[in-house]
Every structure is written in structure tokens, then in C-alpha cells.
Amino acid sequence: MAERKGILLRLDPAVHDALARWASDELRSTNAQIEFLLRRALTEAGRMPGKAAEMRRPGRPRSKPQQERTAE
């Protein structure tokens, strides 16, 4: 997976609280919710770069099947 960029984002506390509640409703972290919304806005505006990696699905990553774990 490509390295991710970190940024400092200053938000109004009420906006942050609303984003955090929305993220919780959709089983995402606040950071993932912000990325989801930014990606959706870029796509709708026709500005999403084709080389952007897909977002990981919400929730815990799936564990490897038993066969793959024992082979390592």
C-alpha cells in the first residue's frame, strides 16, 4: 500500500463533533469519514485522480484464512 500523507486540519469544534457522530454511525473513524467525504466530493466534481488507491472498507480488516496463517 502507498504511504499516506498526514495533515493538520483545524475544525470548528461543533463541526468536528458532527463528523465524529456521523463517522460513528457508519462504523468509521473520524479520519476515515473525512477522507470518505473528500473522495466523494472529488469524484462528484470530476477531480478524483485515477491513480488514487481505493479506501479500505469500514470495520476490522479480515483475518487471513487458517491455511495461509499456518503456511507462514
What does the DSSP 8-state code read for residue 44?
Answer: H
Q: What is the pLDDT of residue 43?
A: 95
pTM value is 0.71
Give domain limits for the chain: 11-51
38 near 54, Cβ under 8 Å? no
Give the amino acid at 26. Answer: E
Q: What is the mean pLDDT of residues 21-41?
A: 94
The reported pLDDT for the residue numbered 48 is 94
> For residue range 51-64, what is the model confidence (pLDDT) as tens digits?
888 877 766 777 77
What is the C-alpha to C-alpha distance for residues 23 and 18, in angstroms, rounded to an integer?
A: 9
Of residues 35 and 62, more confidence is placed in: 35
